[in-house]
């Protein structure tokens, strides 16, 4: 049977540190139906980003398996894995990760170039995505000409460019004031309402209160909040 949501089975990620091994993730089992909105909390260093990186195919488990949208990531070769990251998942990071020498429009076009979309078409698609996040009038601005909230909206436009089924947002409001942060969260929640599976790593209890499910990562182990 094809697994359409996100399914982690006994996922362990071990790092070697000064001759000792350390489990950043420790036998994690997690099943997230598609269309869910999951908030992920937990102290700094608990393994939240490592978890997101597993689901997004940015890192591989030392043992265990990760299935996302019908694909067992362990079976993908490097090319297929790049395509998975490009098409299936949209990433939003705390530090925006925009290309500083490229305009907002060019930043949003990057994943479309990688996906092989033709120039005329990708310009239209990128403009639509900027419009969607209220940044159409800033298309020709460089990131350093934009506020943090505006940069994060460009990052969201880039994340949705290839119509992903999953959005992974790793502390997306961490560098924003509360007003700008709330706007970004509202945008992500809107995308979830349209059917995108949304995982948000956050310290903000208010974000967690909007989620369908709250999980907490502690010492590399995943717990459902209220279920510990
Ligand atoms: N590349 C790495 N090499 C060694 N240790 C790492 C690496 N990446 C993360 N870690 C360690 O794994 C643990 C979990 O990290 P991380 O997932 O980034 O935590 P969080 O996102 O919850 O703050 C931390 O102790 C961190 O130091
Ligand atoms: Mg982190």
Which pLDDT tens digit goes with each residue over 22-76? 999 999 999 999 999 999 999 999 999 999 999 999 999 999 999 999 999 999 9
**Atom number, ligand 1, closest to the C-alpha of residue 42:** 22
The whole-number pLDDT of residue 227 equals: 57
Mean pLDDT of 181-189: 96
Q: Which one of 16, 24, 60, 169 would you pick to mutate in the ligand 1 pocket, going by the greatest count of ligand atoms within 8 A of its CB? A: 24
In a domain, 195, yes or no: no
Task: Show Cβ contacts of residue 166 under 8 Å, excluding neighbours closer than 6 positions.
Answer: 6, 55, 56, 68, 69, 88, 89, 90, 196, 197, 198, 199
In a domain, 116, yes or no: yes
CA 144 to chain centre: 23
Nearest protein CA to atom 6 of ligand 1, as residue? 15
Which pLDDT tens digit goes with each residue over 116-164? 999 999 999 999 999 999 999 999 999 999 999 999 999 999 999 999 9
The whole-number pLDDT of residue 2 equals: 53
In a domain, 123, yes or no: yes
In a domain, 39, yes or no: no
Q: How far apart are CA 100 and CA 52, in angstroms?
A: 24
Q: How far apart are CA 175 and CA 148, in angstroms?
A: 7
Q: Tell me the whole-structure pTM to 2 decimals.
A: 0.95
Query: What are the structure tokens assigned to 38, written together?
Result: 């999951």
In a domain, 121, yes or no: yes
Nearest protein CA to atom 11 of ligand 1, as residue? 24
The ligand that comes nearest to the alpha carbon of residue 40 is 1
| Cβ(42) – ligand 1 distance below 6 Å | yes
Ligand 1 centroid – CA 44 distance (Å): 9
Please state the domain count of the chain.
Answer: 1
Q: Has residue 9 got a pLDDT over 80? A: yes
| Cβ(49) – ligand 1 distance below 6 Å | yes
The ligand that comes nearest to the alpha carbon of residue 94 is 2
Nearest protein CA to atom 4 of ligand 1, as residue? 15
Query: 119 is in which domain, residue-wise?
Result: 98-163
In a domain, 48, yes or no: no
H runs (alpha helix) in 72-160:
78-87, 104-114, 119-132, 148-160
In a domain, 60, yes or no: no
The ligand that comes nearest to the alpha carbon of residue 21 is 1
**Atom number, ligand 1, closest to the C-alpha of residue 47:** 17
In a domain, 131, yes or no: yes
Q: How far apart are CA 17 and CA 137, in angstroms?
A: 48
The whole-number pLDDT of residue 205 equals: 83
Task: Show Cβ contacts of residue 158 under 8 Å, excluding neighbours closer than 6 positions.
Answer: 90, 98, 107, 108, 110, 111, 129
68-89 burial string, b = 16+ CB within 10 Å, else e? bbebebeeeeeeebebbbbbbb
Which pLDDT tens digit goes with each residue over 76-129? 999 999 999 999 999 999 999 999 999 999 999 999 999 999 999 999 999 999
């Amino acid at each position: 049977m094809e697994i359409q949501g996100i399914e982690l089975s006994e996922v362990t990620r071990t790092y070697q540190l000064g001759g000792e091994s350390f489990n950043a993730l420790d036998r994690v089992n997690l099943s997230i139906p598609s269309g869910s909105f999951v908030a992920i909390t937990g102290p700094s260093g608990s393994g939240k980003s490592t978890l997101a990186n597993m689901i997004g195919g940015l890192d591989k488990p030392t043992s265990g398996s990760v299935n996302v949208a019908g694909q067992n990531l362990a079976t993908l070769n490097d090319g297929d894995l790049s395509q998975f990251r490009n098409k299936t998942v949209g990433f939003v990071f705390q530090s925006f990760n925009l290309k500083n020498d490229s305009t907002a429009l060019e930043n949003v076009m990057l994943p479309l170039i990688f996906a092989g979309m033709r120039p005329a078409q990708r310009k239209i698609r990128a403009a639509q995505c900027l419009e969607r996040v209220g940044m159409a009038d800033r298309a020709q601005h460089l990131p350093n000409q934009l506020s943090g909230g505006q940069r994060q909206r460009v990052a969201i436009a880039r994340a949705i460019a290839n119509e992903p089924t999953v959005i992974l947002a790793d502390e997306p409001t961490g560098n924003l004031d509360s007003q700008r942060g709330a706007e970004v969260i509202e945008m992500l929640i809107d995308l979830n309402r349209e059917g995108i599976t949304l995982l948000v790593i956050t310290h903000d209890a208010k974000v967690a209160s909007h989620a369908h499910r709250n999980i907490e990562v502690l010492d590399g182990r995943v717990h459902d909040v209220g279920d510990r």
